[in-house]
Amino acid sequence: MASCRPVRIAILAITASFALAAPAALSAAQPVVLVQAGHLSPGEPGYLAQTGASGNPFGLESEFNRRVRNDMLTRLRAAGVDARPLAARVEPLGVPGATFVSIHHDSPGGAAMVGHAITGGNENYYRGEGTGDASPTPYPDSARHRVPATTVSAAVERTSAGTAQRIAAGLKSIFTPANGAGGRFRGVIPPNSNRRMNHFYGFYRTTAQSRVIVEVGAAPDDNPFLAKVPLISKTLSTAIINDLKARKLL
């Protein structure tokens, strides 16, 4: 028995070195991108009443968001990204990553636009589980939010603004009448022009270095465009990949 021990120790040592080396090599090569399908169940406490718009070619907004998210996951993974799906409820709370992107479409009269996290202030509070106007402080009847919320640093705002610009440029290139877009394109919205987007709760549930939210278009104004899920997913994924490359993460 005694003669076996050195062999066993050697095997254990080799196994241990592989176990330690493999995850490090993987994470260095594969940046994590969190792709959220907005409003998709299960919901985030405090926002459960915000079930999203409807009237796109696939019905509920959450279904459009889910289709785009899933197509993006496939494309991002093919490009070497560790792409992970999120529903409306961000799990785990405080999840890290290189980029967090939340997919949405707007309601009638809305627009295609991109918002990003900004430093200062905090997440939106609403009445009950998500009705009424967005407020930086809780209403007496605001439903309880999960804690602790994450914060948005100046560095996160800068990185997020860069990602938002690249996504908006990509979206602009395909948001054309020829592709069925009939509504407005607003590009990256100025900070604090839209509390609902700039202080979106998702930005305070992750520690991702870059945090953006995309309104791909509005239903039903842009329905022929919103039907083009592969084109939209490819364009958004390419913008995210180029952003990761510019940040030297891919």
Q: State the nearest-atom distance from the C-beta of 93 to Zn ion, in Å.
A: 21
Q: Is 38 in the site for Zn ion (CB under 5 A)?
A: yes
**Which residue from 31, 52, 180, 202 is in contact with Zn ion, where contact means CB under 5 A?**
52
DSSP letter at 188?
A: E
Question: x/- binding map, residues 187-206, to Zn ion, per CB under 5 A?
Answer: --------------------
Residues of span 102-141 touching Zn ion by CB under 5 A = 104
Question: 3-class SS at 169?
Answer: helix
| Among 107, 206, 117, CA closest to 155 | 117
Q: State the nearest-atom distance from the C-beta of 65 to Zn ion, in Å.
A: 7
Whether 206 contacts 97, CB under 8 Å = yes
Q: How many residues bind Zn ion (CB under 5 A)?
A: 3
Q: State the nearest-atom distance from the C-beta of 38 to Zn ion, in Å.
A: 4
Q: State the nearest-atom distance from the C-beta of 215 to Zn ion, in Å.
A: 7
Considering only 44-52, 67-75, 147-155, 220-228, which stretch makes contact with Zn ion by CB under 5 A?
44-52
Whether 205 contacts 44, CB under 8 Å = yes
DSSP helix, strand, coil percent of the chain (3-state; round to 5): 40, 20, 40
Q: State the nearest-atom distance from the C-beta of 53 to Zn ion, in Å.
A: 6
| Residue 117 CB partners (closer than 8 Å, separation 6+) | 152, 156, 157, 160, 198, 200, 203, 211, 212
Alpha-carbon torsion, ordered 134, 138, 142, 146, to 10 deg = 100
Q: Is 69 in the site for Zn ion (CB under 5 A)?
A: no
Considering only 47-55, 113-121, 177-185, 199-207, which stretch makes contact with Zn ion by CB under 5 A?
47-55
Token digits of residue 244: 């990761």
Whether 62 contacts 51, CB under 8 Å = yes
Considering only 52-60, 134-142, 171-179, 235-243, which stretch makes contact with Zn ion by CB under 5 A?
52-60
Q: Which is nearer to Zn ion, 38 or 202 (CB)?
A: 38
Chain residues in the site for Zn ion (CB under 5 A):
38, 52, 104
